[in-house]
Amino acid sequence: MSRLKKEQKDTLVGEIIKTDFALQNAMEEAGMEARTYGIWGFFWRLFGKRGAREKRLVKKKTYMLLAVFTGFMGGHRFYAGRRGLGMLYLLFFWTMIPVMMTMLDLMEVIPIKSDENGYVMM
């Protein structure tokens, strides 16, 4: 009996996620800003209420060097103006979490084409 209920819950969650992504795609195709955020929606909505983060121009090489040498302490995040994330990196520098996050940051910035002066929008 409980196995059946678990399968029903899994199916229901899967359908909700599919519907959420379909709604997001439809809104993007219509030229609207998608207001659905998948399974992490609660967190995106919570942090989104503080206002949209303004992106800044940063030197790509400087950002990457800071990520490699001071990434575990959030140096690249401070450089990009993301002080809150930089503080979280500092708070958890003794764990492997900031190192893994820095690897993701590098995977994000490496494929971005820089402009003629070497700047990227972060």
Comparing CA positions, the residue from 58, 57, 76, 56 lying closest to residue 66 is 76
Average pLDDT, integer, range 89-111: 91
Q: At residue 6, does pLDDT exceed 60?
A: no
**Strand, coil or helix: what is 78?**
helix
* Alpha carbons 3 and 26: distance in angstroms, whole number: 35
pLDDT band at 27 (very low <50, low <70, confident <90, very high): confident
pLDDT band at 72 (very low <50, low <70, confident <90, very high): very high
Each domain of the chain, given as residue ranges in start order, spans: 2-48, 57-121
Residue 119: strand pairing partners: 59
Note whether 122 and 108 are within 8 A (CB).
Answer: no
pLDDT band at 79 (very low <50, low <70, confident <90, very high): very high
Q: Is the pTM of this model over 0.75?
A: no
CA 74 to mean position of chain CA atoms: 15
Tokens of 12: 């229901």
Tell me, what's the pLDDT at 44? 59
**Strand, coil or helix: what is 53?**
coil
